[in-house]
């Protein structure tokens, strides 16, 4: 009886909080995509143009990935059955890790169930009490959570501010056992790129290790889509730990960590989110493996993504809508107020274009934005249509 009372009072509390979110335009809800993840799909039973997925290369519904996923299921079934260290390491895990190591040009790779848990694993395993983490102020939530759980001292440097990072390194380098600098390579909401050569140089000068999150760079940056290292001409000696997801441009799910063998062996032995979680299932592994092979054979997809992105950014600029010239498919259009942002998102949807609005706490207050993402399976004519819609509302929304 007392339980049901506490449930009632807790539900009442939660309702007050949810109502509060709704009042300030920050209540979140989900929209159901009823077709596959691809540029032209269905939402709530209506055809729409999908401009907010991270499926940058349009691989999520590619026949080659679908067939590879099906074959993996036929051959190996639906589950890994256990964590990798119990009975869950299957042939496909090894094959995918070898393919990713060759693709990333690193000695060794370990696959994780998602980018979120890969970041938790890296940050809680490799540093701890007595160590220090230097983290960019706009790093992804999974990095923020990993830093909090690590028990290392946390020093946050201003977004992409190398001088500030150096100041923090200078002030504290000698006092800690291990020093880790962590940054997104492509920032997930703004689409800008971290100054990695400068970060790597500072790391060497101050005896720190660099961890880079290539979630939005894998399949996107570099001529072959190999990520931020390829983009800047760096390697695994400069960027000690590179992680990336298989769930965005690579069209499947899961994540990888790439680096020197000792890092990987240590993670296998110590990373709790690796040790205590059922491994990725065959379908995801088969599809990921096909994506890596396809990307190696057809780097033209990466070039197409870049041309479409340039075309769209130029189109917005012609409308005098402020956009950066970053070569990434994440194109934020700042509206400011959360309610107005969601109203504009709803208007686009009425016109058959799905662009998600992003509000606090994901972005800073007053910085709510429409986050447009480009994917390689769009046509230039699709982008013309979207640009025409932006042209209709730009004055009224002061874009
Ligand atoms: C999406 C994302 C992740 C998490 O990857 P998942 O595989 O989706 O869990 C990690 N870091 C960044 C920067 C991301 O955008």
Q: What is the pLDDT of residues 188-243, one digit of tens each?
A: 999 999 999 999 999 999 999 999 999 999 999 999 999 999 999 999 999 999 99
**CA 77 to CA 81: how far, in whole Å?**
10
pLDDT value at position 97? 98
Are 109 and 94 in contact by the 8 Å Cβ rule? The answer is: no
pLDDT value at position 2? 54
Are 145 and 136 in contact by the 8 Å Cβ rule? The answer is: no
pLDDT value at position 174? 74
| Predicted confidence (pLDDT) per residue in 174-185, tens digit | 789 999 999 999
Exposure letters 248-266 (e unless 16+ CB within 10 A, then b): bbbbbbbbbbbbeeebbee
Q: Is 255 in the pocket of ligand 1 (CB under 6 A)?
A: yes
Q: Is 245 in the pocket of ligand 1 (CB under 6 A)?
A: yes
- Nearest CA owner, ligand 1 atom 4: 115
Q: Is residue 100 scored above 80 in pLDDT?
A: yes
Q: Is 97 in the pocket of ligand 1 (CB under 6 A)?
A: no
pLDDT value at position 361? 87
86-95, 172-181, 281-290, 323-332: the lowest-pLDDT one: 172-181
Place of tokens 């934020």: 332
Q: Count other C-beta atoms under 10 Å from residue 22's C-beta.
A: 12
The stretch 361-376 carries a mean pLDDT of: 94
CATH class, range 26-56+299-397: alpha beta
Q: Domain limits of the chain?
A: 26-56+299-397, 63-297
The stretch 134-155 carries a mean pLDDT of: 97
CATH class, range 63-297: alpha beta
Are 382 and 39 in contact by the 8 Å Cβ rule? The answer is: yes
pLDDT value at position 118? 98
Q: Is 397 in the pocket of ligand 1 (CB under 6 A)?
A: no
The stretch 59-71 carries a mean pLDDT of: 98
Q: Which of 56, 114, 116, 214 to mutate to test the pocket of ligand 1 (most atoms within 8 A of CB)?
A: 116
CA of 134 to the centre of ligand 1 (A): 19
CA of 183 to the centre of ligand 1 (A): 12
pLDDT value at position 170? 93
CA of 113 to the centre of ligand 1 (A): 11
CA of 13 to the centre of ligand 1 (A): 31
The pairing of beta strand 255-259 with beta strand 209-213: unpaired
**CA 383 to CA 240: how far, in whole Å?**
38
What is the pLDDT confidence band of residue 128, given thresholds at 50, 70 and 90? very high
Higher pLDDT, 33 or 67: 67
pLDDT value at position 82? 97
| Cα 54 versus chain centre, distance | 8
Give CA separation, 123 vs 126, 150, 256, in Å. 6, 6, 14
CA of 115 to the centre of ligand 1 (A): 5
What is the pLDDT confidence band of residue 26, given thresholds at 50, 70 and 90? confident
Q: From the CA of 216, give the closest atom in ligand 1.
A: 15
Q: Would you please indicate which residues are annotated as catalytic (active-site) residues?
A: 188, 216, 248
Q: Count other C-beta atoms under 10 Å from residue 216's C-beta.
A: 29
The stretch 34-62 carries a mean pLDDT of: 95
Q: Is 216 in the pocket of ligand 1 (CB under 6 A)?
A: yes
Q: Is residue 7 scored above 70 in pLDDT?
A: yes
What is the pLDDT confidence band of residue 325, given thresholds at 50, 70 and 90? confident
- Nearest CA owner, ligand 1 atom 8: 115
| Predicted confidence (pLDDT) per residue in 251-299, tens digit | 999 999 999 999 999 999 999 999 999 999 999 999 999 999 999 999 9
Q: From the CA of 254, give the closest atom in ligand 1.
A: 7
The stretch 387-398 carries a mean pLDDT of: 92
Are 154 and 147 in contact by the 8 Å Cβ rule? The answer is: yes
Do 26-56+299-397 and 63-297 show the same overall fold?
Answer: no
What is the pLDDT confidence band of residue 4, given thresholds at 50, 70 and 90? low
22-26, 121-125, 213-217: the lowest-pLDDT one: 22-26
Q: From the CA of 186, give the closest atom in ligand 1.
A: 13
């Amino acid at each position: 009886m007392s339980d049901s009372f506490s449930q009632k009072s807790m539900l009442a509390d939660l309702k007050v909080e949810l109502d509060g979110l709704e009042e300030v335009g920050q209540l979140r809800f989900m929209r159901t995509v009823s077709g596959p993840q691809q540029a032209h799909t269905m939402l709530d039973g209506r055809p729409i143009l999908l401009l907010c997925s991270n499926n940058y290369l349009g691989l999520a519904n590619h026949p080659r990935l679908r067939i590879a996923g099906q074959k993996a299921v036929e051959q190996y079934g639906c589950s890994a059955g256990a964590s990798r260290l119990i009975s869950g390491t299957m042939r496909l895990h090894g094959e995918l890790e070898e393919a990713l190591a060759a693709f990333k040009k690193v000695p060794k790779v370990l696959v994780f169930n998602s980018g979120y848990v890969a970041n938790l694993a890296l940050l809680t395993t490799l540093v701890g009490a007595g160590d220090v983490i230097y983290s960019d102020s706009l790093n992804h939530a999974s990095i923020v959570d990993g830093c909090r759980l690590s028990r290392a001292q946390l020093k946050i440097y201003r977004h992409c501010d190398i001088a500030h990072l150096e100041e923090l390194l200078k002030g504290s380098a000698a006092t800690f056992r291990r020093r880790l600098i962590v940054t997104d390579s492509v920032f997930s909401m703004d689409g800008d790129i971290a100054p990695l050569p400068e970060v790597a140089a500072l790391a060497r000068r101050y005896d720190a290790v660099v961890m880079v999150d290539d979630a939005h760079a894998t399949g996107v940056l570099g001529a072959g889509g190999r990520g931020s290292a390829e983009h800047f001409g760096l390697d695994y000696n400069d960027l000690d730990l590179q992680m990336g997801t298989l769930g965005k441009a690579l069209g499947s799910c899961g994540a990888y960590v790439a680096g020197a063998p000792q890092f990987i062996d240590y993670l296998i032995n110590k990373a709790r989110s690796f040790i205590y979680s059922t491994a990725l299932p065959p379908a995801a592994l088969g599809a990921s493996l096909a994506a890596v092979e396809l990307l190696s054979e057809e780097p033209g997809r990466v070039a197409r993504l870049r041309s479409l992105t340039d075309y769209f950014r130029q189109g917005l600029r012609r409308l005098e809508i402020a956009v950066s010239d970053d070569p990434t498919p994440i194109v934020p259009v700042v509206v400011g107020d959360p309610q107005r942002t969601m109203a504009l998102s709803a208007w686009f949807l009425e016109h058959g274009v799905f662009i998600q609005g992003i509000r606090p706490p994901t972005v800073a207050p007053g910085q709510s934005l429409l986050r447009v993402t480009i994917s390689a399976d769009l046509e230039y004519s699709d982008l013309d249509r979207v640009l025409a819609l932006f042209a209709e509302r730009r004055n009224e929304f002061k874009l």
